[in-house]
Amino acid sequence: MSELDEAWALALQEAERRARGAGRTDVTEYLALRNSNDELRKIGIQWLTETFTNIAAEANRAGAAIQSEKQDGHRFRVGNATMVGKLLTLRQGVRTLLIEAGWPRTPSDGIVRGGGLACGNLKHVGLKTANEGLLLVKSDTGAPRWLALDRHDGTKEIHESDARKHIAILLNVPTR
């Protein structure tokens, strides 16, 4: 957790304590929901980046030579909104796969459309047809899940097998 995230969490805790002391249940409930959603965002983004990192490491053990780089505080656009989060860059030779995931942090950043908690992108540099936009949503069970926003079919849930397909594209390995 960055210093800014830590300071923000402390400020939210203090605001919730003050609201509870003032009998402002509406504010207390809002802050509790915000805290819960932030936790789901962190879990979802961690799952996404760790899944790709682990699959790349597995490919490297088989001789792939994928280089990886992580960046916190990464800013990227989704529509008219600015997301702030993580960037995982995977490189193999001249091929590059960017895994972006984050959410708006300030009102001026905009909103996540479609009822989502966070947004992301899977971008294959130079191979636009393989790119996917992502939306993090809360499932019926309350757990976070990533959806790929397909331009033709609507949405489909992202699983580890989808991450493997993107790594195969990075490695220029034919997929079914």
Mind listing the pLDDT tens digit for each residue in 18-65?
A: 877 888 777 777 777 777 888 999 999 999 999 999 999 999 999 999
Residue pLDDT, tens place only, 141-172: 888 999 998 766 667 899 999 999 999 999 98
pLDDT of residue 151: 62
Question: Which has the minimum average pLDDT: 6-15, 76-85, 102-111, 167-176?
Answer: 6-15
> pTM for this structure?
0.84
Give me the domain span that covers residue 111. Answer: 48-170
Mean pLDDT score, 99-123: 93
What's the Cα-to-Cα distance from 24 to each of 11, 30, 38, 44, rounded to whole Å? 17, 10, 21, 30
Q: Is residue 115 part of a domain?
A: yes
Q: Is residue 72 part of a domain?
A: yes
What is the C-alpha end-to-end distance of the chain, expressed in Å? 39
pLDDT of residue 176: 54
Mean pLDDT score, 91-102: 96
CA count, 13 A, side-chain hemisphere, 85: 30
- Report whether 103 contacts 45 (CB < 8 A): no
Q: Is residue 20 part of a domain?
A: no
- Name the percent of the chain lying above pLDDT 90: 62
Mean pLDDT score, 8-20: 75
* Tally of domains in the chain: 1
Q: Is residue 121 part of a domain?
A: yes
Q: Is residue 69 part of a domain?
A: yes
Q: Is residue 126 part of a domain?
A: yes
Q: Is residue 89 part of a domain?
A: yes
Q: Is residue 148 part of a domain?
A: yes
